[in-house]
Structure 1
């Protein structure tokens, strides 16, 4: 049995989502883009990789008024 690497999302439409992969990428993506398509206009959210004491790393919703890290 292999240990899973946990990826957590905080904020926005993916808030509370937890993905697990068997092996993490050598260099995790600094930003993940989530595109929501529905009957109206396309909605795009950006999640930036941040360090979290409890989990190691997590993706947090970017507040669009803030500059990118």
Structure 2
């Protein structure tokens, strides 16, 4: 694929996933939201962008403060 970049997910249900994504016209999204809907209540996870030497960028699971 032309104009692609590789992203890796760290933590949560997407841990270890590596995707090749089309290069966006602007910068990669600072946050990615993953919604889990399988056989139960909706569970939402947020992944925040960080840069990594090995992959270029990684999305790390956001640790939510219990309120």
Do both proteins adopt the same fold according to a TM-score greater than 0.5, normalized to the shorter chain?
Answer: yes
- Runs of 4+ with >3 A deviation: 1-4
When the two chains are superposed, the root-mean-square deviation of aligned CA atoms in Å is 1.7
TM-score relative to the length of structure 1: 0.79
Paired residues, number: 65
CA contact (8 A) 2:7 2:56 kept: no
The unaligned stretches of length 5 or more in structure 1 are: none
TM-score relative to the length of structure 2: 0.81
The unaligned stretches of length 5 or more in structure 2 are: none
The aligned residue for residue 39 of structure 1 is: 39
Tell me the alpha carbon deviations over residues 4-32 of structure 1, each in whole angstroms, 9 at most, x when there is no partner. Answer: 41011000000011110243442111100
Q: Specify which structure has the bigger relative contact order, considering alpha-carbon pairs within 8 angstroms and separated by 6 or more residues.
A: 2
